[in-house]
Structure 1
Amino acid sequence: MRTGLVTTPFGRRPMTLALVKGQLQSSDDRIGRPVEKWKVFRDISEARQLLGLHDRALAVLDALLTFYPSNELTAGAKLVVFPSNAQLSVRAHGIAGTTLRRHLAALVEAGLIHRRDSPNGKRYAHRGIGGQIDDAYGFSLEPLLLRAGELAGLAQQVAAEKIRFKRAKEALTLCRRDIRKLLTAAVEEGADGDWCMMEDLYHALIARLPRSPNRKIVETILVEMGNLREQIVNCLEMQIKTEKTDTNDIQNGCHIQNSDPESIYELEPRFEKELGAKVEPTKITQRETPKAFPLGLVLRACPQILDYASGGGIGHWRDFIGTAILVRSVLGVSPSAYQQACEVMGPENAAVAVACILERAGHINSPGGYLRDLTTKAERGEFSLGRMLMALVRANAGETTMQAG
């Protein structure tokens, strides 16, 4: 039996079976080769969260290690340090006495040091004739020697977790960038697809990210974000294949006829009356009308136009164009400026441009002049209505977030 290898704490501090187990393990003759104390300390610092330690506890452990003269912890050596609380407080950067005692208890609880209390609870050493230490009472550093390998493994585990977390965050950042730019490109170039729904899915995923997410949350969102990106790419890929097929058909002599070239202007008969001129069908067929954006996306970007809608709702492009004509009049845009925009952009996109101007009316001095400028740029291919829409979508999303907060 090895009863002399276990010591009990002084005073009211209780003895536990965990302390007995730790002291017996520390006294095992199979303790390995010497270890460098500061390397063990660095491993503990890396693994402090796994060990349940705070930064102040590390400061106390650092101070304890400075009282051990050698840089190596060796089996068979006297690994007990015996500084007073006053000395420890100084080396622990002036930590208060109650805080010091609490973190010493945390180090003992974590199994990193053991108490070796004297009969009166004070810390001191018995020295021989030559000044060497024969026996000492204080804190034993033997657990650090015993657990050096385990602590190194914990530190490596934490380091690997940090790398995995960092790469997950990087992958999520790249995925977010891909989705953002793919959606913008799809909307700007008028690609077919329910981009409004995909935009909603994207913002819903972003909203699920807390301010300080952990790795599991990031990886979960990354999987769903990756699925959304794949869905967007597949949709665009199908459209590219369809366009390629259509191009081949045209090159082979196929002719696609517009069954109703005047239907665009027939959506809103009041428009012809307001302009005071009859639209010539030949002009419509000569100009290639740009593809309209999804109505749901436009209403998300330009919600103010709903204030002017009959009944407060817009369900079809016919309603939207009619409301845009009313807004055109409210903004003071001349009929000629609006007609020119319709000829260049198409009636739907001209109405969208007016709705965008309404959203930014407080920052635009002359809405009519601004619309003419946009029309001129669009005719030269220098203006992207899709980019303006996406900027308004993001701006409105930011305002909604601030209001919710």
Structure 2
Amino acid sequence: MLPADQFAAAFNGTDATPSAILGAFKAAAPHMGISARVVHAIDWLFRFTQPQDWRDGARPIVWPSAALQSADLGVTPTHAKRLNRQLTELGLIVMKDSPNGKRYGRRLPANTGRIIEAYGFDLSPMAVRMPEFIAIADQGRKERTAMAQLRRRASIARNSLRQTLETYQEQAIHDPEIPALKAAFDQTAKTLRQIEVSERLAPVVSELESLAATAREALEIALTYGASQQADAQATVNMSPKGHQNVPHHYNYNPTLNPLQDTVMALGRSSALPATAPSPMDRGGEGRPEKARAARTDRGAHGTVTPDEIVRLAPRLRPYLTTPAPRWTDLVEAADWLRHDLGVSKPLWGDACLTIGRERAAIALAIVSAKPTEHFKSGPAGYFHGMIAKAKAGELNLDRTIWALRRKAPHSAAPQCH
């Protein structure tokens, strides 16, 4: 009873009406975990109080009999005693007992109605806690609004994924990573249904949205390049660049075995690729010959630069590397992470990889990252898009751009060839 006694001792009267105090409590009760039975009991006690009982110098005490309480609340006398104890433990009332243990009280004549003696239920803790009730109710309304918004976002994400999967089926597009993505989505959606707090729900909903967006972007690439190319490329770009635990992170572009076949002859001059043994980054994942691809439309830079030099010229790649001695595959993976910082979308990245190969796409992205912000008119992504457009027109010269970066870079090392 001590907490309730402390609340009662702090009561010095209030200008709030009994109905306002009761309304604040009812609004806060659901967010305080207070049962409807307790709310009903407090509501019933407030029927016996009057406005003057809450003024300075007065005390809001009510004294309904135990028999009346049991009858009106529809409980046994034992249950009524248990309920009164619960109200006290919750800090909502204080029991003021008479010498003989009975509840009674007296008021002045009707013109004032002030209590001159009373023993029973002291409701003053309710007035003292009114600001607390208001704050809890306000926070509860904000939480309810946040939860509604988050669940609406989750529904949109679920609908988006369902529509994406239906389109995959309608267009007869096969993507081996979609089942794993759907399984990850279903598991996240299951977790969502078990959460009732917005702070914990927000990251789960964000994960749902990310998975739905990943599936949609993969579908856009599949529709752009056709079902046959999608099957050949086998998921051209990584299905989950953020590294979702249930979706593998890999690339399956197939560069040709002969580096000269990957170079366009421009202006009667060959590219800077070596004419001897093929470069390690121009081999398949296990050194197996790959089927011929259409000639790429960029010029140079493939055989005249190493991954180490690319990292020195474009240091923004370094945080995304997992090894101090990167290979071309490591560089491509780091570029896929870096593209998020530059605002390069997954479809644009996939277009670049199909147009000039994933290694050259990584070099082009590294070049973009090495340029100052003021260099761009339409942002890094727009500049990268322009580079790929030049590649399609046979006008991209990565070799010349690499040499320009070398001249500007301090303490730049001499170029190395594979």
TM-score (norm 2): 0.48
Q: Decide which structure has greater helix share.
A: 1
Output the TM-score relative to the length of structure 1.
0.50
